[in-house]
Structure 1
Amino acid sequence: MSRPLTATIDLAALRYNYLLAKRLHGGRVLAIVKANAYGHGALRCARALEDIADGFGVAAIEEAIQLREAGIKKPILLLEGWFDASELADIARHDLWSALHSSAQIADIEAASLAAPLTIWAKIDSGMHRLGMAPGEFRAAHARLLATGKVGKVLAMTHFARADELDCPATAEQVAAFRAAIDGLPVETSLSNSGGILGWPAAHGDWGRAGIMLYGGNGVDRQLPDWPRPVMQFDSAIIAVRELAAGEPIGYGARFVTERATRMAVVACGYADGYPRVVPSGTPVLVQGQRCPIIGRVSMDMLVVDITALPQADVGSPVRLWGEGLPAGEIATAAGTIDYELFCNVKRARFVEIGS
Structure 2
Amino acid sequence: MRPAWADIDLGALHHNLKTIRTQAGKKRVLAILKANAYGHGLSRIAQELQDIDAIGVARVDEALQLRNAGVTQPIVLLEGFFEAKQIPVLAASNIQPVLHTKHQVNQLLQADNLPQAMRVWIKVDTGMHRLGLNLEDVERVYTQLKGSRNVVGEPVIMSHFACADEPAHPQNQVQLARYAQAVKVLPESVTSMANSAALFASLAPDYDWVRPGLSLYGISPFPGGVGRELALQPVMNLQASLISIRKINQGESVGYGAAWTAPHDTWIGIVAIGYGDGYPRHAPQGTPVWINGKEYPLVGRVAMDMITVELGPHMSAQLGDTAQLWGPDLAVERVAETVGTIPYELLCNVARRVNLHYIDGHDVSGLGEVS
Q: TM above 0.5, one fold?
A: yes
Measure the CA separation in 1 of the matches of 2:35 and 2:206: 25
**Residues 223-243 of structure 1: CA distance to partner in whole angstroms, max 9, x if unpaired?**
574232110100112111111
Corresponding residue for 2:296?
A: 292
Opposite residue 117 of structure 2, the aligned amino acid is P
**More moved, 304-313 vs 121-130:** 304-313
**Residues 134-168 of structure 1: CA distance to partner in whole angstroms, max 9, x if unpaired?**
11211111112123232122110001111112332
Asked if 2 retains the 8 angstrom alpha-carbon contact of 1:175 and 1:203, the reply is no
Asked if 2 retains the 8 angstrom alpha-carbon contact of 1:116 and 1:150, the reply is yes
Corresponding residue for 2:369?
A: none
Measure the CA separation in 1 of the matches of 2:104 and 2:240: 48
Opposite residue 215 of structure 1, the aligned amino acid is Y
* Structure 1 residue 40, shift from structure 2 partner: 0.6
Measure the CA separation in 2 of the matches of 1:344 and 1:81: 21
Instruction: Note the residue ranges of structure 1 that are not aligned, 5 or more in a row.
Output: none
3-state SS of paired residue (2:302): coil
Asked if 1 retains the 8 angstrom alpha-carbon contact of 2:196 and 2:211, the reply is yes
With structure 1 as the length reference, what TM-score do the two structures score? 0.95
Measure the CA separation in 1 of the matches of 2:97 and 2:3: 41
Corresponding residue for 1:196?
A: 198
Opposite residue 355 of structure 2, the aligned amino acid is R
Measure the CA separation in 2 of the matches of 1:203 and 1:257: 54
3-state SS of paired residue (2:325): strand
Give the counterpart of 2:326 among 313, 322, 341. Answer: 322
Give the counterpart of 1:354 among 343, 354, 359. Answer: 359
Residues 1:275 and 2:279 are matched in the alignment: yes
**Residues 24-64 of structure 1: CA distance to partner in whole angstroms, max 9, x if unpaired?**
122100111111111110111011111x2111011122111
Give the counterpart of 1:266 among 270, 294, 299. Answer: 270
Measure the CA separation in 2 of the matches of 1:350 and 1:18: 24
**More moved, 305-314 vs 255-264:** 305-314
Corresponding residue for 1:65?
A: 64
**Residues 97-148 of structure 1: CA distance to partner in whole angstroms, max 9, x if unpaired?**
1100012322112211222222111000111111101112111111121232
With structure 2 as the length reference, what TM-score do the two structures score? 0.92
Corresponding residue for 1:231?
A: 235
* Structure 1 residue 310, shift from structure 2 partner: 5.6
Aligned-residue RMSD, C-alpha: 1.6
Measure the CA separation in 1 of the matches of 2:248 and 2:313: 14
Instruction: Note the residue ranges of structure 2 that are not aligned, 5 or more in a row.
Output: 366-371
Measure the CA separation in 1 of the matches of 2:232 and 2:79: 26
Measure the CA separation in 1 of the matches of 2:249 and 2:168: 49
Asked if 1 retains the 8 angstrom alpha-carbon contact of 2:220 and 2:230, the reply is no
**Residues 159-200 of structure 1: CA distance to partner in whole angstroms, max 9, x if unpaired?**
111111233222222111111111131101010111111223
Corresponding residue for 1:303?
A: 307
3-state SS of paired residue (1:235): strand
**More moved, 88-97 vs 122-131:** 88-97
Measure the CA separation in 2 of the matches of 1:350 and 1:41: 10
Asked if 2 retains the 8 angstrom alpha-carbon contact of 1:93 and 1:115, the reply is yes
Opposite residue 273 of structure 1, the aligned amino acid is D
* Structure 1 residue 203, shift from structure 2 partner: 4.6
Opposite residue 144 of structure 1, the aligned amino acid is Q
Asked if 2 retains the 8 angstrom alpha-carbon contact of 1:231 and 1:323, the reply is yes
Measure the CA separation in 1 of the matches of 2:208 and 2:136: 22
3-state SS of paired residue (1:192): strand
Any runs of at least 4 consecutive aligned residues in structure 1 with deviations exceeding 4 A, and if so which? none
Q: How does 1:72-221 map to 2 (within 5 A)?
A: 72-113=71-112, 114-152=114-152, 153-185=154-186, 186-203=188-205, 205-221=207-223
Measure the CA separation in 1 of the matches of 2:52 and 2:239: 29
The number of residue pairs the alignment matches comes to 354
Opposite residue 47 of structure 1, the aligned amino acid is Q
**More moved, 195-204 vs 345-354:** 195-204
* Structure 1 residue 307, shift from structure 2 partner: 0.8
Asked if 1 retains the 8 angstrom alpha-carbon contact of 2:6 and 2:354, the reply is yes
Asked if 1 retains the 8 angstrom alpha-carbon contact of 2:194 and 2:203, the reply is no
* Structure 1 residue 4, shift from structure 2 partner: 3.3
Asked if 2 retains the 8 angstrom alpha-carbon contact of 1:121 and 1:155, the reply is yes
Asked if 1 retains the 8 angstrom alpha-carbon contact of 2:124 and 2:132, the reply is yes
Measure the CA separation in 1 of the matches of 2:11 and 2:157: 32
Measure the CA separation in 2 of the matches of 1:292 and 1:310: 12
Identity of aligned residues (%): 40
3-state SS of paired residue (2:281): coil
**Residues 201-237 of structure 1: CA distance to partner in whole angstroms, max 9, x if unpaired?**
4355201111111112231223574232110100112
Measure the CA separation in 2 of the matches of 1:327 and 1:166: 22
Measure the CA separation in 2 of the matches of 1:184 and 1:134: 14
